[in-house]
Amino acid sequence: MKRNHIVSLVVIVVLMVVFLATFQDASTYNTFLQAEKQKKETCTVIGTLVLTDSIVFQRETLLLRFTAKDKEGEVRTVYYNKPKPIDFERSEEITMTGYANDTAFIAQEILMKCPSKYADGKNTPATP
């Protein structure tokens, strides 16, 4: 076997390993219902904040509790044990990564999308 063939073979094997590892590490986009079907398995739910329900942040425990509605309209209580993000109430959409347990969705990571932070033509200056 020529050396070039060995190198090519190694390259292919490494690529396979890398791709498999990526699929292994990647979480999936789900709804709350799907998350509940596979309890304790990590997934990502995109939803919106339900502002009419209370948003409670306890400083003793650093626990944030809020209610979110996913894209299918399912509403769940979400717990997040990190500080309440600044301007949380202003978020347009929240991406929650975590898992469901019997009573709630436990978010480990939250990504907020604020509508105004990046110019998008939505806020036009003149609406007299």
Which of helix, strand or coil describes residue 22? helix
SS3 of 39-51: the string is CCCCEEEEEEECC
**Which residues sit opposite 64 in a β-bridge?**
57, 80
Segment 49-108, which members bind another protein (CB under 8 A)? 57, 59-63, 79, 81-84, 86-87, 90, 95, 97, 101, 106, 108
Q: Does 4 bind another protein (CB under 8 A)?
A: yes
Asked if 106 and 100 touch (Cβ cutoff 8 Å), the reply is yes
The residues, any chain, with a CB within 8 Å of residue 53's CB and separated by 6 or more, are: 66, 67
Confirm or reject binding of residue 29 to another protein (CB under 8 A): yes
- Our finding on whether 48 is near another protein (CB under 8 A) is no
- Applying CB under 8 A, which of residues 25, 52, 54, 73 lies at the interface with another protein? 25
| Structure tokens belonging to residue 43 | 């997934």
- Binding-site ranges for another protein (CB under 8 A): 2-4, 7, 11, 14-15, 18-19, 21-23, 25-30, 34, 42-44, 46, 57, 59-63, 79, 81-84, 86-87, 90, 95, 97, 101, 106, 108-109, 111, 113-114, 116-121, 123-128
